[in-house]
Structure 1
Amino acid sequence: METASRCSQNEHLVIIGNGMACHRLLEALVKHPQRPRRITVVGEEPVPAYNRILLSPLLAGELAPEALTLQDASWYADNNITLTLGDRVTSIDRERRLLITHRGDTLSYDRLVIATGSRPTLPAVPGITLDGVHTFRDLRDADALEAIAQQGGNAVVIGGGLLGLEAAEGLRKRGGSALTVSVLQRSERLMNRQLDTTAAQLLEATLRERGITIETGASLAALEDNGHGQVQSVTLSDGRKLAADSVIVAAGITPNAELGQQSGLMYDRAIVVDGHLTTSDDHIYALGECCQFEQHTYGLVEPIWRQVEVLAAVLCGEHPAAYQEAPTATKLKVSGVSLFAFGPTEPAAKHEELRYQDPETGDYCRLLLHQGRLIGAVLYGDTRHGPWYFEQALAATDLTACRHLLLFGATDAQTALDNHLDNPLDTLSSPLSLTREAA
């Protein structure tokens, strides 16, 4: 799947989807002198692109809705971009390069970008379609959850990952004492894909102190009807029941890739692309959460931003280096909770582990190294040095010379590393053990 021909400024570029990936791509294109002159965007939502990452603080009442807007409609017009809102593409005629929308409109294209994002995955359990079951993905969802918080009662969040915890905290903060919030996590610990056991325990303790009920190792079996089509409780696989006036599902996402699949593009779990985001049709590209590259699908913005850089260059007639996978760091967007993590959650036999924990402040740091290079970190509480650790991991820096200072943060470690590079024959040593626990 290689780009068959150099893109031309005179070609008509159409982008399906007007989410964050599309908007980031547009911002990159309008800055380029060789940008396509004709750009059309078809977005299903009735408003221009907005920052979905900020839905959690919006729900918590920490931001006003306008703070999420990336650009208003005038920006598109000023940059000669035709924006169609409240409509969706229902079919692609690849032979004639035509799109058909839900409204029945026909749109021709020379180059097409599919950036349709993803949708929440709903568990296949009885009662999942009852009234009172919600997701947390867009502005309409945020409005619905705000109404839940104001009504009070019992809200149950399905999923103890990033989005589920952000939704739970937003509900708790907005609903106050009138709303009881519970989180069900199938794994034995919260954020099991990002955190080790210690950090997950610290996070759980913090959320419990705020009044959120946490149920780990809890598998959902069914949602119960109150007799009028409204959810009234959830049943767990162990038979327990929890009262639930509302249920918020935040347990993974499914790529919105059906449009590509129906049009005959190569498809696996999502629309398959190569390193230049080209699909099996050389005139069609896929970007973000609806695409799949080398068995990877996406749910965080950092890799999508790197995809945007590559695709923008391709669409402007350049020949950029291919997109490559890279580690991604995780940060939780919950007010008053500082968390930073990347890499493996648990050490393997080949890993060297450095660990620090202060029971008084609650600060926790665990680093994993392999052959002197940092491959993973979990920080809870004091996360100031997280970005520095992440930079060293991305650069595959040999940190042997400053290993004994790594737990003390970036400043001392970087100084020792710089001194070692200036004087490579000097050997640094320290009596510190590999595992350091605060008294």
Structure 2
Amino acid sequence: MTENKKEKLVVIGNGMAGISTVEQIIKLGGAYDITVFGSEPHPNYNRIMLSYVLEGSKTLHDIVLNDLDWYKENDITLYTGTTVTRIDGENKLVISENGLAVSYDRVIIATGSIPFMLPIPGSDQEGVVGFRDIADCCQMLEAARKHKKAAVIGGGLLGLEAAKGLVNLGMDVTVVHLMNDLMERQLDSSASAMLKSELERQGIKFAMGKQTTEILGGEQVTGLRFDDGTELEAGFVVMAVGIKPNIAVAKASGIQVNRGIIVNDYMQTSMENVYAVGECNEHRGVCYGLVAPLFEQGMVLAKHLCGAATAPYEGSIVSTKLKISGVDVFSAGEFIESSEHTVIASKDEWKKTYKKILLKNNVIVGAVLFGDVTESAALQKLIKQEARMTDEIYHTIMGTGCGGEVSKGIAVEKMDDAEIVCGCNGVTKKNIVDAITVQGLNTVDDIKACTGATRSCGGCKPAVEQILQYVLGDGFQSAAKLGICSCTILTRDEIVAEIRSKGLRTIREVMNVLGWNQPEGCSKCRPAINYYLGMIYPETYKDEKESRFVNERMNANIQKDGTYTVVPRMYGGVTTPEDLKRIADVSLKYDVKVVKVTGGQRLDLIGVKKEDLPKVWEELDMPSGYAYAKSLRTVKTCVGSTFCRFGTKDSMGIGAELEKKFERLDLPAKFKMAVNGCPRNCAESCTKDIGIVGNDGGWEVFIGGNGGIKARIADSFCKVKTDSELFEICGAIIQHYRETGNYLERTSEWVERIGLENIKKTILEDHEERKALVQRIEAALRQVKEPWKQVLNDKKVLAAMYQESRPTSV
């Protein structure tokens, strides 16, 4: 077929279902002249990742699946921000709202779904949104800046993702759900209760069994009213009660519709040469709202349009996987037991895991997993195959029997070549094996770029890694290792070793010499290399401010409204009336919104404008508390023997000395210390990176504590008798952590990775190494002794610190 005789294919919808179908057509060599219409002003992006955009861990750029260059490279004409209104079947034209008419030979309708909005009074007010696209995320982000309280109506998958995102933005969020169980369409009561408990721990509130009858307010939302007469205050409402197929184009074109656009097993609609794929269609009376079925439909349609042999689409076994801030949930098939089911269940409240498998006449028909979802892919396959339960399967899934788990390699070896590994993108085992053996790929990231596996929800990543290990055998560990980021395959230790052996002195030099695949690096590796160079060459390395995180560049913590918080240093939590007066004067002069006492016994000036930061620091004339830095943040103290009747040691004095000694020194991650004057532990040494407890015989040192998300009680490290020994031990610990810790790795993780006994051996048993560590940290400390006010008086440094920098995610 010559170039000018290609059939014209028009795709209405630039979402995941439509574009994945186009991707399959391109892979199959389909000879089409392709035009795509998208209502949104963006290229194709991953809607599954919207919750990550909302919580701030990803940007729109991060979730784009196919950028604008991809459309150009594949000769695809793309109209963004353009909505199609109807299809003229008689004249074979696709007509958009702006009057554009494009001729076609075939059309794919992939208009997806729209959020269902409850038809209740007040639902049309400002401050009521759905949660389906980037525009909704933007509205939520804006709402978080204006309002303190939000309500999410709907305790399903989307509602919970929206709620967690809003909580991460600092809002007080209540999920309102009609039923008594969360995600009742995917989870049984046990898994639902565990999920609710975990999300409550993470800050989400719940109003269960509540039917919303009215959204209160005038022009702007003020709250909700329920059928029992109770009310809930809220300045913003997210409606996440469900979705409905977007059938507007089909309906306006005279195409047969029911709840969705009715299609046959090859996605053909009632209009000749017009197809519908994804959430907008209805197949055998079912409308699917999850990702995997949409891609299965797309594969069948792509093969059909390319004239390739394909089995008809006969429906999908629906599965759900949810991950919100460490919460893993999976369900597939039937999950509510009845008298006709045989139930296999295991619940571990200590590890917060739950497994349930349902059998019908010994056939596996459904499953629910909570906490540990490693067997989700295997269970989904067994349910789809209508496999019969055997002792081998039971021991594998439930983790019992003398042999433990069946080898993962054996499981992969038994997989058929045609078996789907990545349901989201229709990637088979053979696709992945060919990418490894034919194209020589040896990392998950390479396979993702080549095949699309793991690109969407990421749930198939363990299976892809297993296939990599199976195919590469002994070469897997060296070939498939992960570097510090996607820019390099080198680990932290390898990079540090190469910097030392090759004498590399700048970030640019490291990237060039060590073969970075991204010349400019990324937000993960640039700060890490900047830290490693400063740690290795403390006397000579010139810090690259542009490679630091934004808070470190601005010397203050940025807040969600764009202002900053300033935290002056208060050694050991002790201040003076003169300093307090200075803080009050500066706060009044520069309209500081709030002055807060922090958990680290300091004062936090919240709401400082960016342009006022230099003046605020100058007029405070106090050292920075480095509340923004990867360095020593605070040394928390009790009043100790100076005032307390139980105190045996001068905790305030020692705490202040420790803070003055180690402040301003760059570390792999933020670092907190505490000093207690007696074992009553009022300063909470047990949750600090280094905790120190005084007693009559001296000091006891603890390391590796953490009171944050990954809470950990510190390990007892050693006991010392004198203050000088204490400073030596602390210096050696900090330097050992500086030299061996991964960038952004807290000591709680470092202790578990390196091993407490190994750290003790290095510092307590090898006296020469301890002496060398102390010498190296003293050399580093000599480079950071200049007072903060000297930096402020250096106009060049000041200008560099506060200049407008290019947008970056660092």
Structure 1 residues 163 and 202, CA gap change in structure 2 (3 angstroms)? same
The one-letter code of the counterpart of 1:350 is E
What is the CA–CA distance in structure 2 between the aligned matches of 1:101 and 1:359, rounded to whole Å? Answer: 55
Matched, 1:190 2:185: no
Deviations 1:182-239 (A, max 9, x none): 00111111000011101101111111112211111111100011x4x11101001111
Matched, 1:393 2:400: no
| Contact 1:403–1:413 (CA under 8 A) maintained in structure 2 | no
Match of 1:309 in 2: 299
| Contact 2:337–2:343 (CA under 8 A) maintained in structure 1 | yes
What is the CA–CA distance in structure 2 between the aligned matches of 1:403 and 1:318, rounded to whole Å? Answer: 36
Farther off after superposition, 267-276 or 83-92: 83-92
Matched, 1:202 2:194: yes
Matched, 1:90 2:85: yes
Matched, 1:280 2:270: yes
Q: Which has the larger radius of gyration?
A: 2
The one-letter code of the counterpart of 2:275 is Y
Match of 1:425 in 2: none
Deviation at 1:42, TM superposition (A): 0.9
Deviation at 1:372, TM superposition (A): 2.0
Match of 2:473 in 1: none
The one-letter code of the counterpart of 1:199 is A
Match of 2:363 in 1: 373
Deviation at 1:146, TM superposition (A): 1.5
What is the CA–CA distance in structure 1 between the aligned matches of 2:354 and 2:48, rounded to whole Å? Answer: 26
The one-letter code of the counterpart of 2:36 is V
Match of 2:246 in 1: 256
Matched, 1:13 2:5: no
Q: How many residues align?
A: 406
> Among residues 103, 111, 127, which one is paired with 1:116 in the alignment?
111
Percent of counterpart pairs with the same letter? 38
Match of 2:449 in 1: none
Match of 2:324 in 1: 334
> Among residues 221, 242, 246, which one is paired with 1:231 in the alignment?
221
**Secondary structure in 1 aligned to 2:151?**
strand
Match of 2:398 in 1: 407
Structure 1 residues 409 and 285, CA gap change in structure 2 (3 angstroms)? farther
| Contact 2:335–2:358 (CA under 8 A) maintained in structure 1 | no
Matched, 1:25 2:16: no
**Secondary structure in 2 aligned to 1:261?**
helix
Matched, 1:72 2:67: yes
| Contact 2:85–2:252 (CA under 8 A) maintained in structure 1 | no
What is the CA–CA distance in structure 2 between the aligned matches of 1:393 and 1:413, rounded to whole Å? Answer: 19
What is the CA–CA distance in structure 1 between the aligned matches of 2:138 and 2:352, rounded to whole Å? Answer: 34
Deviation at 1:316, TM superposition (A): 1.0
The one-letter code of the counterpart of 1:237 is D
The one-letter code of the counterpart of 2:160 is L
Matched, 1:354 2:350: no
| Contact 1:273–1:292 (CA under 8 A) maintained in structure 2 | yes
Deviation at 1:21, TM superposition (A): 0.8
Deviation at 1:328, TM superposition (A): 2.0
| Contact 1:56–1:333 (CA under 8 A) maintained in structure 2 | no
What is the CA–CA distance in structure 2 between the aligned matches of 1:414 and 1:370, rounded to whole Å? Answer: 24
The one-letter code of the counterpart of 1:16 is I
Unaligned runs of 5+ in 2: 412-810
**Secondary structure in 2 aligned to 1:62?**
coil
The one-letter code of the counterpart of 2:355 is C
What is the CA–CA distance in structure 2 between the aligned matches of 1:396 and 1:252, rounded to whole Å? Answer: 30
Deviation at 1:390, TM superposition (A): 1.6
Farther off after superposition, 326-335 or 307-316: 326-335
The one-letter code of the counterpart of 2:182 is L
Matched, 1:45 2:40: yes
Deviation at 1:128, TM superposition (A): 0.2
Match of 2:469 in 1: none
What is the CA–CA distance in structure 2 between the aligned matches of 1:152 and 1:231, rounded to whole Å? Answer: 10
After the TM superposition, which parts of structure 1 deviate over 6 Å for at least 4 consecutive aligned residues?
none
What is the CA–CA distance in structure 2 between the aligned matches of 1:274 and 1:326, rounded to whole Å? Answer: 14
Taking the TM superposition and a 5 Å limit, the aligned residue runs for 1:85-234 are 85-175=80-170, 179-225=171-217, 227=218, 229-234=219-224
What is the CA–CA distance in structure 2 between the aligned matches of 1:403 and 1:105, rounded to whole Å? Answer: 57
What is the CA–CA distance in structure 1 between the aligned matches of 2:22 and 2:131, rounded to whole Å? Answer: 25
The one-letter code of the counterpart of 1:17 is G
What is the CA–CA distance in structure 1 between the aligned matches of 2:251 and 2:355, rounded to whole Å? Answer: 44
Higher helix share: 2
| Contact 1:402–1:413 (CA under 8 A) maintained in structure 2 | no
| Contact 1:132–1:245 (CA under 8 A) maintained in structure 2 | yes
Deviation at 1:140, TM superposition (A): 1.0
Deviations 1:311-340 (A, max 9, x none): 111111234211011212211131110111
> Among residues 247, 254, 263, which one is paired with 2:237 in the alignment?
247
Deviation at 1:149, TM superposition (A): 2.3
**Secondary structure in 2 aligned to 1:288?**
coil
Deviations 1:357-393 (A, max 9, x none): 1121111111111222211111111221122122211
> Among residues 318, 322, 336, which one is paired with 2:308 in the alignment?
318
Deviation at 1:398, TM superposition (A): 1.8
Deviation at 1:9, TM superposition (A): 7.1
| Contact 1:9–1:316 (CA under 8 A) maintained in structure 2 | no
| Contact 2:333–2:383 (CA under 8 A) maintained in structure 1 | no
| Contact 1:89–1:99 (CA under 8 A) maintained in structure 2 | yes
Deviation at 1:403, TM superposition (A): 6.2
Deviations 1:152-184 (A, max 9, x none): 411000100000000000110122xxx210001
What is the CA–CA distance in structure 1 between the aligned matches of 2:346 and 2:259, rounded to whole Å? Answer: 40
Match of 1:270 in 2: 260
What is the CA–CA distance in structure 2 between the aligned matches of 1:367 and 1:295, rounded to whole Å? Answer: 27
| Contact 1:9–1:36 (CA under 8 A) maintained in structure 2 | no
Deviations 1:19-46 (A, max 9, x none): 111111121111122x133111111111
The one-letter code of the counterpart of 2:43 is P
Matched, 1:384 2:379: no
Match of 1:423 in 2: none
Deviation at 1:413, TM superposition (A): 6.4
Unaligned runs of 5+ in 1: 1-7, 420-439
| Contact 2:115–2:244 (CA under 8 A) maintained in structure 1 | yes
| Contact 2:147–2:236 (CA under 8 A) maintained in structure 1 | no
What is the CA–CA distance in structure 1 between the aligned matches of 2:245 and 2:297, rounded to whole Å? Answer: 16
What is the CA–CA distance in structure 2 between the aligned matches of 1:31 and 1:366, rounded to whole Å? Answer: 39
| Contact 1:187–1:216 (CA under 8 A) maintained in structure 2 | yes
| Contact 2:121–2:213 (CA under 8 A) maintained in structure 1 | yes
Structure 1 residues 355 and 272, CA gap change in structure 2 (3 angstroms)? same
